[in-house]
Structure 1
């Protein structure tokens, strides 16, 4: 950040070579000097070669170990008495546990009350001692979350009066949005043996 504020000539005087987007590389037309500071990259030093010789581990090596670690710790999460889960329905996150009632701020289409829905998009699954986080989602083979549709309801009628300055007109806007109510009836951590 400091390099973007200082002029290139001041940085060149200090022995640093920096290309700054705030100052042009050409001299001003009223300037009598024709010397323009060299903006080429600095030659490589011994410290930069030491950092380039170290190669990072291949990206394919870390995911299997984390997956194996997840499968190893999954029985500990399953042994806990109560679980919670963050499910996502149309990009809305809901933190729920068994028996919770969710009032969705929209109406789900093509459903009827009493129908059971399987919720597959979850980002966090946990208990008091352990938490499993997905990136961005947890594999749906590791958990089972089902919700029953309780009802499709509407909010109470809202009436808003809209006015404009220096106008005598008052516009009345009524709204009564539909909601869907779900109840979590199953939340279970599965073994994940299907993947092993």
Structure 2
């Protein structure tokens, strides 16, 4: 029984040592800590849904009618930015002056053929509806954390 408790105690001690570095007191300090990390991710709202995005991701969203292939979209509703060690959450969003993320429209495409079969028993009513859902594919650009948001 004592041998079963020993690894748990070691895990708690290791976790406590890892979290002793203290959290930064201001947002610019937190952003500079986050900037020093090698890779970043964001959670952003696009077309009414939240997506976890990293640079060079290919994102498929429901069709955006008002954009053309090659257009660059600036993501403004960023809810969270983070790396392996640190995370900053907005309340409800992070101001667009602090984090810049762009998405380039790669293509407008369609999904697979959907077949919907409707029938009413004993009435002779049968309908087959076929359709393809339209989508827009976006390539996520680099995530830029601004050095000094005030300038």
Into which bin does the TM-score normalised by the smaller protein fall? 0.7 to 0.9
Equivalent in the alignment of 2:33: 76
Change in CA separation of 1:194 and 1:96 when aligned onto 2, cut-off 3 Å = closer
Q: Deviation digits for residues 100-120 of structure 1, max 9, x if unmatched?
A: 00000x211221111111111
Pick the aligned partner of 2:58 from 101, 119, 131: 101
Rg larger for: 1
Equivalent in the alignment of 1:120: 76
Equivalent in the alignment of 1:132: 88
Q: Deviation digits for residues 5-63 of structure 1, max 9, x if unmatched?
A: xxxxxxxxxxxxxxxxxxxxxxxxxxxxxxxxxxxxxxxxxxxxxxxxxxxxxxxxxxx
Given that 2:118 and 2:126 are in contact with CA atoms closer than 8 Å, whether structure 1 keeps it comes out as yes
Separation in 2, partners of 1:174, 1:78: 49
Unpaired stretches in structure 2, ≥5 consecutive residues: 1-24
Listed as ranges, the matches of 1:20-99 within 5 Å are: 69-99=26-56
> What is the aligned residue count?
128
Unpaired stretches in structure 1, ≥5 consecutive residues: 1-67
Is 1:195 aligned with 2:131? no
Separation in 2, partners of 1:90, 1:151: 16
Q: CA RMSD in A?
A: 1.7
Q: Following TM superposition, where does structure 1 have runs of at least 4 consecutive aligned residues deviating by more than 4 angstroms?
A: none
Separation in 1, partners of 2:121, 2:130: 21
Separation in 2, partners of 1:167, 1:127: 60
Separation in 1, partners of 2:26, 2:122: 68
Q: Deviation digits for residues 63-107 of structure 1, max 9, x if unmatched?
A: xxxxx6222221000010000001101321110100100000x21
Equivalent in the alignment of 1:160: 116
